[in-house]
Amino acid sequence: MDEIAIIIGAKTNIQNIAADFLDSNKGILHIATTHAQAKYFLPEPISQFREKYPGVSIYILQASPEQLIDQLHARKADIAICTEKVDEIPDLVIENCYTWHHALVVPPQHPLSQGDISLERLAEFPILTYNLGYTGRSNIESAFRNKGLEIDVVLAAADSDVIKTYVRLGLGVGLISGMAYDPLTDMDLISRNLSHLIPSSRTKIAYLKHNYLPLYTQHFIEELQLAAKKITY
């Protein structure tokens, strides 16, 4: 099976090199990513890229972190953009994209909307946050564990908007990515930075080591890294 995969990979590389030689401004870019990246990070770099490469069609494949890696190995995706899991795979090239922090979201009248926040205070309330393996959940777990605290996660989801919906219903306090809080659409919620309590997370760009990346894909990665420099969350 490994030999077959090598042959298929070599054939794909030859086809991509030939296509690049004929016209490096046309092609298809398959991006495997999570909901959070697709909604909150990718719109700007994709918009900038499309202005420069209108002949490149973009397909976004949304999946879990584990599935993103599978998409790369199955050659259904050219690159993957995510926070969790990619460091564990030896046959991937990993490029740093941006660093971000978690935030607390609560209604304005909630006790945690004011005063100093500690992990001990957070642990007193039901927690709504991401599924295991998603969007820095491992950093949340390790932060509480290192303090000897247990957290009561009453609802977990892959989608930040789902978490915010149930925060509004009063089920608990939300721990989400800072980029998922929109001051306009979420003006009914208070966001508080948790960078002093929960370790920062790093979103990465991954692709197969032996894959030839067309020039437009290389330029898209550059757009991602340019957009990453503007990030402050």
* 94 & 139 share domain: no
Name the burial class of residue 175, with classes exposed (0-12), middle (13-18) and buried (19+) by CB atoms within 10 angstroms of its CB: buried
Same domain membership, residue 205 and residue 94: yes
Predicted confidence at residue 56, as pLDDT, reads 94
| Tally of structural domains, the chain | 2
Q: Which of the four pLDDT bands, split at 50, 70 and 90, describes residue 16?
A: low
For residue 121, being part of any structural domain is answered with yes
pTM as predicted: 0.83
84 is a domain residue: yes
Residue 165 belongs to some domain of the structure:
yes
Based on the fold, state whether residues 82 and 170 are members of the same structural domain: no
Identify whether residues 171 and 219 lie together within a single domain: no
| Residue at token pair 């202005």 | 51
The rounded distance, in Å, linking the Cα atoms of 205 and 120 is: 34
> Is 106 found in the same domain as 189?
yes
24, 75: one domain:
yes
What does the block give as tokens for 67? 């599935």
String of DSSP letters for 129-195: EEPTTSTTHHHHHHHHHHTT----EEEEES-HHHHHHHHHTTS-EEEEEGGG--TTTTTTSEEEE-T
Both 8 and 86 in one domain: the answer is: yes
pLDDT average, residue stretch 96-115: 96
Q: In what order do the strands lie in the sheet with 190-193?
A: 153-157, 127-130, 173-177, 102-106, 190-193
Q: Are residues 83 and 55 in the same domain?
A: yes
pLDDT at 89: 77
At 104, is the pLDDT very low, low, confident or very high (cuts 50, 70, 90)? very high
Query: CATH number, domain at 206?
Result: 3.40.190.10
For a pLDDT cut of 70, what percent of the chain falls above it? 89
What pLDDT, on the 0 to 100 scale, is given for residue 1?
45
> Do residues 94 and 124 share a domain?
no
- Evaluate whether residue 233 is within a structural domain: no
**Structural domain boundaries enclosing 167:** 102-193
Residues 106 and 184 in one domain: yes
What pLDDT is stored for residue 18 in this prediction? 54
Q: Mark whether 69 and 152 lie in a shared domain.
A: no
Question: What mean pLDDT comes out for the span 137-162?
Answer: 94
DSSP 41: I
Indicate whether 117 and 180 sit together in one domain. Answer: yes
